[in-house]
C-alpha cells in the first residue's frame, strides 16, 4: 500500500544522507542551522509528526562509519554515538566494561524502539527522564563532540545544563561517549519506578561505587525523572563516602537527598511524592549495593 | 474411558463449540479492509483546526491564506455547514426534563471545550490540509469555564450554556421502600464518597470516515468505522435531507469500537457535509491526539453512598447520590445520561434488600463529551456496591464471601424485580460465589496473606459480584424517541451450489459476531460451517437492525439467525419432499445432505435441490414456487432486558513504600446463558477484564484548571499492557434465558463491569493493617501513598 499520499502529516522537509562527519556538519551549516540530524528517529520522528519541529532539512547520520562501534581505548570504552539501545544488551564489551549501561538498557522503552534508538541520540536529546544520559553522569563519562571548530570532549558533569539544554551547540554532532572501564573493586546498581514496563520512570537511579572491602571510597549516584536534567546526588554521595552501607548511613543518604533534588510541580507526581520515591529507591539500591549488587 | 455423548456430538453441532473466527486469519495476515486504508478515486482529505480554549467566543475567523494554498479545495466554517445540515439535540423523551443545547458540525460563534473542531480544510492530501490549518487565524475571546463537578453546581457558577438556568443536564430520583426508616433502625451504617476518573476507549484504529456524495445520482455513500451503520444511515439522511434509500453506510472492518464509535461526532457529520459541498469523496481519520480530545470519554462520577445493615449483617437499605459530569453537550442520539441512569439502577442489584433511594445529577462542563462506553455505568455501580459490602463485612467481622452469600438473591428465588424496577428472569449468584471460592483457593490465599504480612509483604484479596444488562428491548432507546432499533434482521439464501449466505444486521468489530452467526446458521441448517458466508455492515445489502450495542449481538442477532435458518430449512425440506415424494417431517438435513429423519440415510445433497430449483424448475410440480431465500426479523419480547450475572476475584500485592500495585491473578465466574462459542466468550471476558483493570489502575484523562487535557498521548495516558496484566482464570455457570430458542445472553461487558471493583476491594484489603483506605479510581501510586500518609 502506498501511504505516501494519505498518511504523512509532518511538514515537508528535504533529506540528505551524510557519508562522513564533515559532510553532516557541512550540510547543517549550509541549511543555516534549520536542520536536524536524524539517528534512530525514535524521538525526532514523533516530534515531526506532531509538528513540534519542522526543520527544512533532515541529515541522516546513520551511514557515517566513524560513529559506529564499541572498542577499548586505553582506560576507556569508546561507545560510538550510533550504538543502538539493543546493542547495549547484546555487546559483550559493554556487559563487561560498562555493566551499568547493560543493566539500564532493558528499562529503555520497548524492543522495537531499542532496535533503532541510539546512545548518541539519547544523550544529545538529554531528556531528563531518560536512563542513559543519567548513567553517563554516574559513570563519569566523557562526550566527544565534533563541530565547525573541531573535536572536543566534555565531561558528563559539564554537559547537561537544563531542560533539553546541553553543551552541544546547534550543528554539532556527538561522535562517541567514553566510559572508564569497570574495575574489580567497583559495584553498580540500577533500578527505576515506572508505572508500566518500558515507560519513562517516575523516578530512576543508577550508581557506581568503589569499595575497599565494605567501605565506600567513592560513589557516584545519578537520578533521572527528578527535574529538568539528569542529576547527581552529591549530598547523598558525601553522606556515604568513607563509610560502610549500614542502615544508619543509608538513612543519612536518603535524608540528604532533600539537598540534591528539587522535583518540579507535577499534577500526577507532586514534588514531595517524587522525593519520597527517590528516597525509597535510593535505599533499595544501596541495600543491593551492600549485598554486593 | 469415553465421555458420555452430548448434543455436541451430533454432526454440524456448532452451538457450544470453540471454533476459530473465520475472519481472524484474514485480519492477522494484514488483509483487513479498514476505512483508514480506503482510497477512492478523486478522494480528498480533511483536517480540522481545533479550539485551544475550553470556553471562548469566536470573534473572527480568517481563512484567506489557507484558501489560497495550492492543493486546498475547501475551507469550511460552522456557518458554511449550517446551511446544509440541520442541528441535532442529544436528549431522549424518557429522561424527563433533560436538556442539551443543539449541536452543529462546527460551531457558529462559541467553542465549549479545548479540542473542539472549529474550521475544516479539505485538500489533496492530509499534510497539505494540515499546512493550511497553520494559515488560519481565529480570534477568540475567553469566557469563564466550568471544569470540576463542585464548581459546576455552585449557584454563581459560570454557565456552559449561557441562557440556561444551571449546568444541570438531568436530575432524577428513585425511592422505593422505607429508606429513612431502615437507616434509623439499622444496627450498622457504612458510608463512603467515591470518585471515578474519566477515561476513554483508545481503539487501535481511530475514528475513520470517507464520505462520498454523488450529486448526479443524489446518492451519499459513507464508509464509516462504526458499530451502528443503520443509525448513521438514518441520521445522515435526516440531517442532510437525503432520502434514506439514497444513503448507504458501509462499515467494513473496524479496529475496535467499545461503544465509542456509535455516537455522532462533529467531525464525522462535517465530513459528510464537506463531501456534499465538493461532490467528491472526502476522508478523515482522527490522529491519536485528536482521538484523545474528541472521542467520547467515559465515567467521571462522584458518588456518595450509605448502606444500612442489621446486627447479623443483613443489608437493609442503600442511599446514593451520583454526580456525573458529561462535557458541554449530551451526545446524540443516545445521550450522555444512560451511564448515570444505569449506575443508579444497578447499584445493589445482586442483593435482596428492598429499601433504596438514589439521586442522579448529570452536569455540563467545558470538556469533551462523555457517553456510552463498554459496560455503561456498570463499573461504577459495582464498585460502589461491592466496596460498601466489604466495608460492612469489616465492620461486622464477616468474611467477604460470607456476607455476600448471606445477602445475594437466592438462585431459586427468581423471577425477581429489583427496587429500581429491573426484572430478573433467572440469575445464579449463589452458584457463582461458591464456584469462585473454590477456584480462587480462597482459604489458601488468606493463609498466605497472613504469613506474608509478617514479613512486610502486603497482599490483598478482592471479590465483586455483578449484574450485567444485555439483550435490550425498545425500553432502552426506542421508547425515548430514538430511531435506534432493538430488533435485528437476517436474509438467508441457499446458493445455486448449495452453500448458504447470511446477510445480517448485527455487525463485527473483531469480537467474532460473524463467527457465531455462521455457527448458528450451520448448526440449525445442518451443514459445514465453512459453507456459510456471513455478510454484515452494509445498509445497502444487509437488512435494518440494531447492529452492535449493549451486548445484543449473540442474544438478539443470534436468535434472528437461528429463526431465519430454521425457516430456510423448512423451505428446503418442502422442496426436497416434493422431489423425494416424502413428507417434509420425515426428512432432515445433515452435513449438507437431505436425509431420512429416522434412519439418517442420505437421500439428496442440498446442492442438488438448489440446482433443480434455480436451473430446472420445470421439473418441479406445477405451481411450485421455491423460496430458497428467507428474510426474517426478530424483536426481543418478554423481559425488557436479559440480565446476566457473575463474580470476579483478584489477588494483588501493594508495595506500601512506593504505592505500586502488582496484579497477581484474576478470576471470573460468569453466567451468560447459552454459550455459543466458549473460546470467544472467554476472549470477551479477558478483554473486558483488561479494560476494567486499565480503568482500575492506569487510565485517566487528566485536565488542568484551564480545561486542557494534559495527558492526551499514549506516552502519558496509560493503557493496560501485557507485562502488568495477570493471568485470568475463567469458569462458567449456564442459566439460559427462556425468552429465546437460543437462550444466549450478552457477555461483552461482564469483564469490565466488575474488574475495577475487585481491584478496589483487594487494594483496600491489603491496606487493612495500616488503617488506610482508597476510594478513587484509578488507584494510582500517588493515591495509595496519600492514603498511607507517606508524603
Ligand atoms: C514509545 C517510546 C518510548 C520511549 N521510551 C523511552 C524510555 O523509556 N527511556 C528513554 O531513554 N528513551 C525512550 N524513548 C526515546 C528513545 O530512547 C530515543 O531513541 C532516544 O531518546 C533518541 O535516540 P534516537 O537515536 O532515536 O534519536 P533521534 O530521534 O534520531 O534524534 C533525537 C535528537 O537527537 C539529535 N541527535 C541524534 N543523534 C545525534 C548525534 N549523534 N549528535 C547530535 N545530535 C544527535 C537529533 O538531531 C534529535 O534532535 C522512547 C521512545 C518512544 C518512541
A90-113 pLDDT, tens digit each:
999 999 999 999 999 999 999 999
> Which residue in A6, A193, A270 is closest to B660 by CB distance?
A193
Indicate if the pLDDT at residue B23 is higher than 90. Answer: no
Condensed to tens digits (0 to 9), the pLDDT of residues B272-314 reads: 999 999 999 999 999 999 999 999 999 999 999 999 999 999 9
Question: B742: pLDDT confidence band, cut at 50, 70 and 90?
Answer: very high
Atom of ligand 1 nearest to the CA of B714: 1
Is the CB–ligand 1 distance for residue A109 below 6 Å? yes
Question: Span A237-253, mean pLDDT?
Answer: 97
Q: For each of the domains in chain B, give its residue range(s) and CATH number, in order of start.
A: 7-31+487-634 (3.30.365.10), 35-143+202-294 (3.90.1170.50), 297-474+638-787 (3.30.365.10)
Whole-number Cα distances in Å, B747 to A174, B157, B680: 56, 42, 10
Query: Scanning the structure block, which residue is given the C-alpha cell 499492557?
Result: B721
Q: Which of B90, B117, B95 is nearest to B106 (CA)?
A: B117
A290: Cα separation from own chain's centroid: 25
Check residue B510 and give its pLDDT: 86
Q: For position A196, what pLDDT does the model report?
A: 96
Is the pLDDT reported for residue A1 higher than 50? no
Q: What is the pLDDT of residue B6?
A: 67
User: Which pLDDT score, from 0 to 100, does residue B1 have?
Assistant: 43
C-alpha grid cell for residue B474? 425498545
Average pLDDT over residues B389-406: 98
Report pLDDT for A10: 87
Mean pLDDT lowest for which of A44-53, B86-95, B334-343?
Answer: A44-53
| pLDDT for the residue numbered A3 | 38
Mean pLDDT of chain B: 96
pLDDT tens for each residue of B115-131: 999 999 999 999 999 99
For residue B419, is the peptide bond before it cis, meaning its omega torsion is within 30 degrees of 0? no
- Pairing label, strands A150-155, A186-193: unpaired
| pLDDT given for residue B22 in this prediction | 85
- How many beta-carbon pairs below 8 A join chains A and B? 68
* pLDDT of B727 higher than 80: yes
pLDDT per residue over A161-197, tens digit each? 999 999 999 999 999 999 999 999 999 999 999 999 9
By Cβ distance, the residue of B125, B289, B782 closest to A6 is B125
pLDDT of residue B5: 60
B284 interaction partners in chain A (CB closer than 8 Å) = none
> A126 CA to middle of ligand 1, Å?
9
List pLDDT tens digits, range B248-259: 999 989 999 999
Pick B791's closest partner by Cβ from A1, A50, A276. A276
* Cα gap B240→B520, rounded to integer Å: 38
Q: List the domains of chain A with CATH numbers.
A: 14-60 (3.30.43.10), 65-180 (3.30.465.10), 188-290 (3.30.390.50)
Q: Give yes or no for residue A6 having a pLDDT over 60.
A: no
The answer to whether residue B203 scores a pLDDT higher than 70 is yes
Mutate to test the interface with A, among B49, B284, B657, B786 (most CBs of A within 10 A): B657
Residue B293: its chain A contacts at CB < 8 A? none
Q: Which of B33, B37, B721, B724 to mutate to test the interface with A (most CBs of A within 10 A)?
A: B721
Mean of the pLDDT values across residues A128-156?
Answer: 97
Helices (H), A140-293: 234-240, 247-260, 271-290
Is A268's CB within 8 Å of B782's CB? Answer: yes
Q: What is the mean pLDDT of residues B570-575?
A: 98
The CB of A171 under 6 Å from ligand 1? The reply is no
- A126: region left, alpha or beta (phi > 0 left; psi from -120 to 50 alpha): left
pLDDT above 70: residue B4? no
Report the number of secondary-structure helices (H) and strands (E) in chain B.
Answer: 20, 29
Are A62 and A91 within 8 A, CB to CB? no
% of chain B surpassing 70 pLDDT: 99
CA distance A168 to A284: 34
pLDDT recorded at residue A8: 65
Mean pLDDT of B657-663: 98
B702 contact residues in A (CB cutoff 8 A): 267-268
Least confident of A106-115, B58-67, B473-482, B517-526: B473-482
Does B544 score more than 60 pLDDT?
A: yes
Read off the DSSP letter of residue B744. Answer: B
Amino acid at each position: 500500500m502506498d501511504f505516501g499520499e494519505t498518511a504523512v502529516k509532518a511538514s515537508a522537509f528535504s533529506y540528505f544522507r551524510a557519508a562522513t562527519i564533515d559532510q553532516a556538519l557541512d550540510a547543517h551549516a549550509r541549511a543555516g542551522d534549520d536542520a536536524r540530524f536524524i539517528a534512530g528517529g525514535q524521538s525526532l520522528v514523533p516530534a515531526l509528526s506532531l509538528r513540534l519541529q519542522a526543520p527544512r532539512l533532515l541529515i541522516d547520520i546513520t551511514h557515517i562509519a566513524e560513529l559506529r562501534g564499541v572498542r577499548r581505548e586505553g582506560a576507556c570504552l569508546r561507545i560510538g554515538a550510533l550504538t543502538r539501545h539493543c546493542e547495549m544488551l547484546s555487546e559483550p564489551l559493554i556487559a563487561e566494561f560498562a555493566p551499568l549501561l547493560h543493566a539500564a538498557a532493558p528499562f529503555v522503552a520497548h524492543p522495537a524502539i531499542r532496535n533503532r534508538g541510539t546512545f548518541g541520540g539519547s544523550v544529545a536529546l538529554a531528556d531528563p527522564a531518560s536512563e542513559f544520559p543519567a548513567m553517563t553522569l554516574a559513570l563519569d563519562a566523557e562526550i566527544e563532540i565534533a563541530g565547525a571548530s573541531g573535536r572536543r570532549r566534555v565531561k558528563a558533569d559539564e554537559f547537561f545544563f537544563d531542560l533539553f539544554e546541553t553543551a552541544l551547540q546547534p550543528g554539532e554532532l556527538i561522535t562517541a561517549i567514553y566510559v572508564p572501564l569497570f574495575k574489580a573493586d567497583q559495584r553498580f546498581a540500577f533500578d527505576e519506578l515506572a508505572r508500566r514496563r518500558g515507560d519513562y520512570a517516575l523516578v530512576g537511579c543508577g550508581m557506581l561505587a568503589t569499595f575497599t572491602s565494605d567501605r565506600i571510597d567513592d560513589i557516584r549516584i545519578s537520578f533521572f525523572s527528578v527535574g529538568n536534567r539528569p542529576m547527581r546526588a552529591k549530598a547523598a554521595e558525601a553522606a556515604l563516602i568513607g563509610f560502610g552501607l549500614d542502615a544508619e548511613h543509608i538513612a543519612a543518604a536518603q535524608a540528604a537527598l532533600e539537598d540534591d533534588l528539587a522535583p518540579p510541580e507535577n499534577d500526577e507526581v507532586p514534588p514531595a511524592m517524587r522525593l519520597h520515591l527517590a528516597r525509597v529507591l535510593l535505599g533499595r539500591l544501596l541495600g543491593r549495593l551492600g549485598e554486593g549488587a | 474411558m469415553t465421555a458420555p455423548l452430548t448434543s455436541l456430538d451430533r454432526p454440524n453441532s456448532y452451538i457450544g463449540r470453540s471454533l476459530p473466527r473465520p475472519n481472524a486469519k484474514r485480519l492477522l495476515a494484514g488483509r483487513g479492509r479498514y476505512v483508514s486504508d480506503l482510497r477512492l478515486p478523486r478522494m480528498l482529505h480533511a483536517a480540522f483546526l481545533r479550539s485551544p480554549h475550553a470556553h471562548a467566543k469566536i470573534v473572527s475567523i480568517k481563512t484567506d491564506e489557507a484558501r489560497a494554498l495550492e492543493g486546498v479545495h475547501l475551507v469550511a466554517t460552522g456557518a458554511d455547514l449550517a446551511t446544509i445540515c440541520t442541528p441535532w439535540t442529544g436528549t431522549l423523551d424518557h429522561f424527563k426534563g433533560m436538556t442539551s443545547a443543539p449541536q452543529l458540525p462546527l460551531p457558529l460563534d462559541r467553542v465549549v471545550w479545548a479540542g473542539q473542531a472549529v474550521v475544516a480544510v479539505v485538500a489533496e492530501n492530509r499534510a497539505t490540509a494540515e499546512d493550511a490549518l497553520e494559515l488560519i487565524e481565529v480570534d477568540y475571546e475567553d469566557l469563564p469555564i466550568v471544569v470540576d463537578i463542585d464548581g459546576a453546581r455552585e449557584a454563581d457558577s459560570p454557565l456552559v450554556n449561557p441562557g440556561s438556568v444551571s449546568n444541570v443536564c438531568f436530575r432524577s430520583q428513585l425511592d422505593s421502600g422505607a429508606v429513612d426508616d431502615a437507616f434509623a433502625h439499622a444496627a450498622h451504617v457504612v458510608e463512603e464518597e467515591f470518585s471515578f476518573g474519566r477515561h476513554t476507549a483508545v481503539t487501535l484504529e481511530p475514528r475513520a470516515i470517507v464520505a462520498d456524495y454523488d450529486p448526479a445520482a443524489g446518492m451519499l455513500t459513507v464508509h464509516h468505522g462504526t458499530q451502528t451503520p443503520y443509525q448513521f444511515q438514518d441520521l445522515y439522511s435526516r440531517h442532510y435531507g437525503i432520502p434514506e434509500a439514497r444513503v448507504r453506510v458501509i462499515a467494513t472492518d473496524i479496529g475496535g469500537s467499545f461503544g465509542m464509535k456509535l455516537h455522532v461526532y462533529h467531525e464525522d457529520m462535517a465530513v459528510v457535509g464537506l463531501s456534499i459541498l465538493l461532490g467528491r469523496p472526502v476522508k478523515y481519520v482522527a490522529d491519536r491526539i485528536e482521538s484523545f480530545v474528541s472521542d467520547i470519554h467515559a465515567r467521571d462520577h462522584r458518588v456518595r453512598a450509605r448502606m444500612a445493615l442489621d446486627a447479623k449483617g443483613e443489608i437493609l437499605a442503600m442511599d446514593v447520590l451520583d454526580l456525573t459530569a458529561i462535557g458541554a453537550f449530551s451526545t446524540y442520539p443516545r445521550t450522555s445520561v444512560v451511564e448515570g441512569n444505569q449506575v443508579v439502577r444497578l447499584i445493589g442489584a445482586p442483593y435482596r434488600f428492598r429499601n433504596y433511594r438514589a439521586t442522579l445529577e448529570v452536569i455540563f462542563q467545558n470538556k469533551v463529551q462523555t457517553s456510552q462506553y463498554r459496560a455503561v455505568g456498570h463499573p461504577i455501580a459495582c464498585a460502589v456496591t461491592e466496596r460498601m459490602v466489604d466495608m460492612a463485612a469489616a465492620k461486622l467481622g464477616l468474611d467477604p464471601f460470607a456476607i455476600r452469600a448471606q445477602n445475594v438473591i437466592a438462585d431459586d428465588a427468581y423471577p425477581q424485580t429489583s427496587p429500581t424496577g429491573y426484572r430478573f428472569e433467572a440469575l445464579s449468584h449463589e452458584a457463582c460465589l461458591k464456584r469462585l471460592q473454590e477456584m480462587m483457593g480462597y482459604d489458601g490465599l488468606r493463609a498466605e496473606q497472613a504469613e506474608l504480612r509478617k514479613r512486610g509483604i502486603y497482599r490483598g484479596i478482592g471479590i465483586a459480584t455483578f449484574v450485567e444488562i444485555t439483550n435490550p428491548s425498545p425500553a432502552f432507546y426506542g421508547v425515548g424517541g430514538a430511531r435506534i432499533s432493538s430488533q435485528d434482521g437476517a436474509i438467508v439464501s441457499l446458493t445455486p451450489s448449495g452453500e448458504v449466505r447470511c446477510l445480517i444486521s448485527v455487525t463485527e468489530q473483531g469480537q467474532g459476531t460473524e463467527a457465531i452467526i455462521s455457527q448458528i446458521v450451520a448448526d440449525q441448517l445442518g451443514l459445514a460451517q465453512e459453507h456459510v458466508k456471513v455478510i454484515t455492515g452494509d445498509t445497502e445489502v444487509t437488512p435494518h437492525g440494531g447492529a452492535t450495542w449493549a451486548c445484543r449481538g449473540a442474544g438478539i442477532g443470534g436468535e434472528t439467525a437461528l429463526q431465519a435458518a430454521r425457516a430456510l430449512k423448512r423451505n428446503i425440506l418442502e422442496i426436497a419432499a416434493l422431489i423425494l415424494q416424502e413428507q417434509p417431517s420425515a426428512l432432515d438435513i445433515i452435513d449438507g445432505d437431505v436425509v431420512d429423519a429416522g434412519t439418517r440415510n442420505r437421500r439428496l445433497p442440498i446442492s442438488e435441490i438448489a440446482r433443480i430449483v434455480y436451473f430446472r424448475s420445470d421439473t418441479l410440480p406445477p405451481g411450485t414456487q421455491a423460496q430458497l431465500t428467507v428474510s426474517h426479523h426478530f424483536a426481543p419480547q418478554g423481559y425488557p432486558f436479559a440480565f446476566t450475572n457473575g463474580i470476579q476475584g483478584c489477588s494483588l500485592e501493594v508495595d506500601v513504600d512506593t504505592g505500586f500495585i502488582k496484579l497477581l491473578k484474576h478470576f471470573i465466574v460468569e453466567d451468560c446463558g447459552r454459550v455459543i462459542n466458549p473460546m470467544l466468550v472467554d476472549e470477551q471476558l479477558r478483554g473486558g477484564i483488561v479494560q476494567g483493570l486499565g480503568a482500575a489502575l492506569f487510565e485517566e484523562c487528566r485536565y488542568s484548571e484551564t480545561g486542557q487535557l494534559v495527558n492526551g498521548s499514549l506516552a502519558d495516558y496509560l493503557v493496560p499492557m501485557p507485562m502488568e496484566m495477570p493471568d485470568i482464570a475463567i469458569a462458567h455457570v449456564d442459566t439460559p434465558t427462556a425468552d429465546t430458542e437460543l437462550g444466549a445472553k450478552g457477555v461483552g461487558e461482564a469483564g469490565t463491569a466488575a474488574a475495577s471493583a475487585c481491584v478496589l476491594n483487594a487494594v483496600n484489603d491489603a491496606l487493612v493493617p495500616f488503617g488506610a483506605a482508597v476510594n478513587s479510581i484509578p488507584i494510582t501510586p500517588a493515591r495509595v501513598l496519600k492514603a498511607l500518609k507517606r508524603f
